[in-house]
Amino acid sequence: MVKSYKNFNDYYSDANAPVRSKHDEFHIFRFSDLGDNIVERMGPFSTAYYQFAMGSEVQAKLGVFDTNAVTEKYTMVIYLPGQILKWEKTGDWSGYVLNVKENFLNLGSIAHLTESYGFLHRLQPLIINLSEEDYHVLSKFYELMLLEQKEMNEENMLVIRNLMQILIVFVNRIVSRMKTTGSFVEMKYQRIATRFKSLVFEHYKKNKSVTYYASLLGVTPEYLGESVKKVYNTTPKNIINEILFMHAKTLLTTTDTEIKELAWSLNFDDYSHFVKFFKKMSGHTPAEYRNNFFTSA
């Protein structure tokens, strides 16, 4: 099945990378710190933390759920907790990687500045093509965090957290420039809807009930539905199903796990229920989807 990394150092070890974090909730390093013996590819896997990778050179093939992309120059890639990931190194990497857990970020303290960081709750990967100027501006924040990371006292932690928040504000500006359409949505709905999507990524394999997520958020299912409709123009159930479906598709095409075992891992109480769910979402049974994928590959 898909391996899930909760700790930075476990991930580094499996990647054969020499870097190690001294803090449980954040770590920053340069690509050059990875050395020459890093594995050529990893995945599928997921993480319990955010990753902000940015480079002047990032020659790689990336996969998030069933979406694939190729990166090269002046790129930022943001991975989210719970996404199923894979990557392959195809050339030079030059730049930075920042791994951070949500608790350390403390996004709620400045959510009013950036529309609740909607770009951090996407289903698909966020790959930003940066200008050279954008890259050099953002790299200053990474360099400052690297400097602060040399010491691990409370003051350094505070500075790093503040620098991370400012970095995200700058990234949000870049993302906002990329948007061609959009309308203002009341902040109270933004906060509920984006937090809901984050919780789904965390719990979707075990909980598929809208009522469960409404309870975690301290709102009624009706209010959750209203918030999701205003922000994402869909329903909470559709978001849960879409994330679950993307996970199932990824497992079908990247592992040889038996379909019955796959259904069990996604907490379907009956194999036939999983088949019906998958066929409703895709028009194919899981077996047909897997066979068609490998036949056309």
Fold of 187-296: Arc Repressor Mutant, subunit A (1.10.10)
Q: pLDDT tens digits for 240-294?
A: 999 999 999 998 988 888 999 999 999 998 899 999 999 999 999 999 999 888 7
Measured distance CA(88)–CA(296) in Å, rounded: 21
Q: pLDDT tens digits for 153-208?
A: 999 999 999 999 899 888 888 877 765 333 334 556 777 887 898 889 889 888 99
Report the predicted TM-score, pTM, of the whole model to 2 decimal places. 0.73
The 3 state secondary structure assigned to the chain is CCEEECCHHHHHHHCCCCCCCCCCCEEEEEHHHHCCCCCCEEEEEEECCEEEEEEEEEEEEEEECCEEEEEEEEEEEEECCCCCEEEEEEEEEEEEEEEECHHHHCHHHHHHHCHHHHHHHCCCCEEEECCHHHHHHHHHHHHHHHHHHCCCCHHHHHHHHHHHHHHHHHHHHHHHHHCCCCCCCCHHHHHHHHHHHHHHHHHCCCCCCHHHHHHHHCCCHHHHHHHHHHHHCCCHHHHHHHHHHHHHHHHHHHCCCCHHHHHHHCCCCCHHHHHHHHHHHHCCCHHHHHHHHHHHC
CATH code of the domain made up of 3-178: 2.60.120.280
Give the domain ranges of the chain: 3-178, 187-296
22, pLDDT greater than 80: yes
